[in-house]
Amino acid sequence: MTDFDPATFANYGPKEFAQLVKSTPDAKIAEVMSGNLRGTVLDEVFTRLPTIFRPEKAGSTNAVIHWTITGRPDGGSDTYEIVVADGTCTVNKTPQHEPKLTLTMGPVEFLRIVSGGANPVMMFMTGKLKAKGDLGLAANIANLFDIPKA
């Protein structure tokens, strides 16, 4: 993940990003995500989510999902909001609505999930991912996005 810098990260396509995350040890991901590139990486990932959204799988789903990524250098967390409504997906960097579902996880787990390198259900069962709210939506969320596989 030493290649992860703001100048080059935007050049990675979904498959290249998935491969980069897959080939990077957890300790290196944790190091990068506890430094000054954390915001850049999170912003880039969340900016891309609407481009991999699958409206045909969402059907009539209308939901607000908060993604809380722990492990910020100051001890806090970052929360992004995804709004799925009427076949569209939008992202807010600052939550604006009451969530139907809140997902909480560490930065390594988050990057593993969004790059297709981890099983969210298994992470939930082992306590690495916490879900509060609509657990049916939580179980189906991966189907709403075309998650790349490395």
pLDDT tens by residue, 64-77: 999 999 999 999 99
**For the residues 53-65, what does the mean pLDDT come to?**
93
Q: Is the pLDDT of residue 50 over 80?
A: yes
In sequence order, what are the residues at sequence separation of 6 or more whose Cβ sits closer than 8 angstroms to the Cβ of residue 60? none
Confidence of residue 2 (pLDDT cuts 50, 70, 90): very low
The encoded tokens of residue 59 equal 């059907």
pLDDT tens by residue, 103-121: 999 999 999 998 888 888 8
- Report percent pLDDT > 90 for the chain: 56
Whole-angstrom Cα distance, residue 124 to residue 149?
Answer: 20
Give, in order, the Cα–Cα distances in Å from 59 to each of 85, 135, 141, 144, 150.
9, 18, 12, 9, 27
pTM of the complete model: 0.89
Query: The tokens 């569209």 sit on which residue?
Result: 88
